[in-house]
């Protein structure tokens, strides 16, 4: 895809990147308890006695969380393991009430799969690269520690404790920060299409552990470091860049890279060693004896498959087949929100080409000006379809449609109502148009003569004058026909 190289004193270096993405599973309740996953609640209110690891409390798994992981696995053509198992990962920390995280080490629910990534998903000519997925497993999220509220204490809030996460582990197949960025974008898009994660990195619904090592191109793999919990694509790319350079500098100055956990500081744009996790490396994984193995039957798997939506790559191909340009098809499918919006528009009966052009120029333009995302659009697909329908059936012209759309954005009124109220309906009344044409011809006898003498270009002048006289509300086709007849 791209030849990303770091120039060192001893020559070129290649970066090897693998990502472990933690994605919060979309679910109402937690992975092993019936408490809510709702965001932003009072501290320790979305917590059950199970989440707080009170003595004698036991986990009971949430079907939906497993279902979402399986659907995600199916979306990346991964092997689904009918038999999987929860293990305990043992370590002590204040945000981990049980003293272990229930996770899957030995037998994950989803095995190998792959994701096709293009460096620029909006460029249909951009090369495609396959990034291997090693596994997806389901595990519990930890609680939250706050360090800045008290001089000598940290505070513990367990609201997130036990929320279901999918850990999506890639192969070390990426070779540049750009590839890593494109991979996460594509992964996020797939998760949103599938509906298994909202992909909201700002709220922490997705975060990445970034494994980076460097080597001489094609050489032996170097020692990797793991930078934990990076919560934006931009930060992740910066962390990779910094970390790769740091490792090259370290090796070239005679040092060795140690396998360790690091932290990215977005203010200083650097990674640093996380000493607090130093001796947490012996996790003593073993099968959770409170839980039996997970066994998925045919009916469960069939339902998962049947409920999968059309995925980005397939949708894109279908749009191209419908006559959309490759560019339009790529843009409309890159993000699930856009694709879903466009699908809703089509469902309202809008023509694909008309709809895609309008969406990409008019709607995106307007949202851009307003600084809003598609989710926050003041006009919904149904309202947009009403507007585009008025253009399609000749009620208003394209230029009037732009005016109407602006009013819609301002007032929230419906397109038909605006057209009615402002009298913007275009006329096909030949008598009225003929009368105006006659007036214009009378006032411009010289130009009529020139046109008749062969200066065809003047036809546009007459169209413009007529439209102006009709205050933009005449049907352009009717004007054309009448002008041709009357000018001879």
Partner 1 sequence: MTETAFPLKRGGADASGTLMSVDKDTVNKIARLSRIAINDAEADKMVGELNGILAWVEQLGEVDCTGVEPMTAVIPNKLRLRDDVVTDGDVRDKVLANAPAKEGSFFGVPKVIE
Partner 2 sequence: MTDFSRLGVASIRDGVAKGEFKAVEVAEALNTRVAAAKALNAFIVETPEKAIEAAQAVDADRAASKPLGKMAGVPIGMKDLFCTEGVQTTAASHILEGFVPTYESTVSANLWKAGAGMLGKLNMDQFAMGSSNETSYFGNVISPWRRNDGGNVALAPGGSSGGSSSAIAARLCPAATGTDTGGSIRQPAAFVGISGIKPTYGRCSRWGVVAFASSLDQAGPMARDVRDCAIMLEAMAGFDPKDSTSLDLPVPAWEAGLNSDLRGKKIGIPKEYRLDGIDEDIAQMWDNGIAWLKDAGAEIVDISLPHTKYALPAYYIIAPAEASSNLARYDGVRFGLRDLPEGAGLQDMYAATRAAGFGEEVRRRIMIGTYVLSAGFYDAYYTQAQKVRALIARDFENAWSQCDLILAPTAPSAAFGLGEKTSDPLSMYLNDVFAVPASLAGLPAMSVPGGLSKEGLPLGLQIIGKALDEQGVLDAGLAIEQRSGFTAEAGEWW
Interacting residues toward Zn ion by CB under 5 A: 167
- Contacting residue, 60, 269, 317, 322, with partner 2 by CB under 8 A: 60
Q: In which region does residue 156 sit, left (phi positive, over 0), alpha (psi from -120 to 50) or beta (all else)?
A: beta
Pick the closer one to partner 1 by CB: 62 or 338. Answer: 62
Grouping H, G, I as helix, E, B as strand and the rest as coil, residue 16 is strand
209 binds Mg ion (CB under 5 A): yes
43 binds partner 1 (CB under 8 A): yes
Task: For the CB of residue 136, give the shortest distance to Zn ion in the complex, in Å.
Answer: 11
Grouping H, G, I as helix, E, B as strand and the rest as coil, residue 243 is helix
134 binds Mg ion (CB under 5 A): no
Q: Are 113 and 133 in contact (CB under 8 A)?
A: yes
Task: For the CB of residue 141, give the shortest distance to partner 1 in the complex, in Å.
Answer: 15
Stretch of 28-36, 126-134, 320-328, 434-442 lying at the interface with partner 1 (CB under 8 A): 28-36
57 binds partner 2 (CB under 8 A): yes
Read off the tokens for 142: 């930890």
Neighbours of 357 (CB within 10 A): 15
Neighbours of 327 (CB within 10 A): 14
Task: For the CB of residue 292, give the shortest distance to partner 2 in the complex, in Å.
Answer: 6
Instruction: Please calculate the CA angle 244-245-251 and round it to the nearest 5 degrees.
Output: 90
In DSSP notation, 290-339 reads TSPPEE--HHHHHHHHHTPPPPHHHHHHHHHHTT--HHHHHHHHHSHHHH
Those residues with Cβ within 8 angstroms of residue 437's Cβ, 6 or more apart along the chain or in another chain: 462, 466, 479, 482, 483, 486
Task: For the CB of residue 51, give the shortest distance to partner 1 in the complex, in Å.
Answer: 8
87 binds partner 1 (CB under 8 A): no
Closest CA to 196 of 83, 392, 64: 64
Grouping H, G, I as helix, E, B as strand and the rest as coil, residue 113 is strand
Residues between 261 and 320 that touch partner 1 (CB under 8 A): 263, 274, 276, 279, 282, 284, 287, 291-295
Residue 121 interface partner, choices Mg ion, Zn ion, partner 2, none, CB cut-off 5-8 Å depending on type? none
Neighbours of 134 (CB within 10 A): 18
- Contacting residue, 51, 121, 243, 362, with partner 1 by CB under 8 A: 51
- The rounded distance, in Å, linking the Cα atoms of 24 and 206 is 6
- Contacting residue, 2, 28, 38, 54, with partner 2 by CB under 8 A: 54
Give the per-residue contact string, 160-199, with Mg ion (x = CB under 5 A; - = no): ----------------------------------------
Task: Give the footprint of partner 1 on this chain (CB under 8 A).
Answer: 27-29, 33-36, 42-52, 54, 60-66, 85, 92, 94, 145-147, 149-158, 263, 274, 276, 279, 282, 284, 287, 291-295
Task: Give the footprint of Mg ion on this chain (CB under 5 A).
Answer: 20, 209
Task: Give the footprint of partner 2 on this chain (CB under 8 A).
Answer: 49, 52-61, 88, 90, 92-94, 97-100, 154, 156, 281-282, 284-286, 289-292
């Amino acid at each position: 895809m791209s030849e990303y190289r770091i120039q060192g004193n001893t020559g070129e270096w290649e970066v090897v990147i693998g990502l472990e993405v933690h994605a919060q599973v979309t679910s109402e309740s937690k992975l092993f308890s019936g408490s809510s996953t709702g965001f932003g609640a009072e501290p320790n209110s979305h917590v059950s006695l199970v989440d707080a690891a009170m003595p004698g409390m036991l986990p009971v798994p949430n079907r939906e969380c497993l279902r979402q992981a399986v659907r995600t696995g199916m979306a990346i053509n991964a092997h689904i393991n009918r038999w999987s198992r929860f293990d305990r990962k043992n370590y002590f920390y204040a945000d981990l009430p049980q003293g272990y995280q229930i996770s899957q080490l030995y037998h994950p629910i989803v095995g190998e799969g792959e994701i096709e990534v293009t460096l620029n998903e909006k460029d249909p000519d951009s090369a495609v690269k396959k990034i291997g997925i090693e596994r997806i497993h389901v595990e519990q999220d930890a609680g939250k520690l706050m360090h800045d509220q008290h001089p000598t204490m940290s505070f513990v809030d367990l609201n997130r404790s036990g929320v279901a996460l999918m850990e999506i582990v890639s192969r070390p197949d990426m070779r540049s920060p750009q590839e890593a960025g494109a991979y996460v974008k594509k992964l996020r898009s797939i998760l949103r299409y599938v509906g298994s994660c909202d992909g909201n990195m700002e709220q922490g619904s997705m975060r990445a552990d970034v494994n980076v090592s460097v080597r001489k191109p094609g050489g032996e793999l170097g020692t990797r470091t793991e930078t934990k919990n990076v919560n934006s694509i931009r930060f992740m790319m910066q962390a990779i860049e910094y970390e790769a350079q740091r490792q090259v500098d370290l090796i070239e100055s005679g040092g060795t890279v140690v396998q360790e956990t690091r932290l990215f500081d977005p203010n200083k744009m650097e990674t640093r060693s996380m000493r607090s996790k130093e001796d947490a490396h012996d996790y003593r994984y073993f099968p959770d004896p409170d839980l039996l193995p997970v066994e998925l039957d045919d009916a469960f798997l069939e339902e998962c498959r049947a409920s999968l939506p059309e995925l980005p790559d397939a949708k894109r191909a279908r749009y191209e087949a419908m006559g959309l340009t490759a560019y339009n098809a790529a843009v409309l499918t890159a993000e699930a929100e856009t694709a879903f919006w466009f699908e809703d528009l089509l469902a309202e009966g809008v023509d694909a080409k008309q709809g895609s052009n309008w969406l990409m120029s008019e709607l995106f333009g307007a949202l851009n000006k307003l600084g809003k995302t598609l989710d926050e659009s003041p006009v919904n697909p149904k309202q947009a379809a009403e507007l585009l329908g008025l253009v399609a059936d000749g009620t208003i012209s394209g230029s009037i449609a732009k005016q109407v759309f602006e009013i819609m954005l301002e007032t929230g009124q419906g397109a038909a109502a605006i057209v009615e109220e402002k009298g913007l309906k275009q006329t096909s009344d030949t008598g009225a148009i003929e009368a105006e044409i006659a007036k214009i011809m009378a006032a411009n006898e010289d130009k009529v003569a020139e046109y008749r003498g062969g200066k065809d270009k003047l036809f546009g002048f007459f169209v413009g004058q007529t439209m102006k006289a009709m205050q933009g509300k005449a049907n352009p086709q009717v004007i054309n026909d009448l002008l041709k007849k009357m000018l001879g």
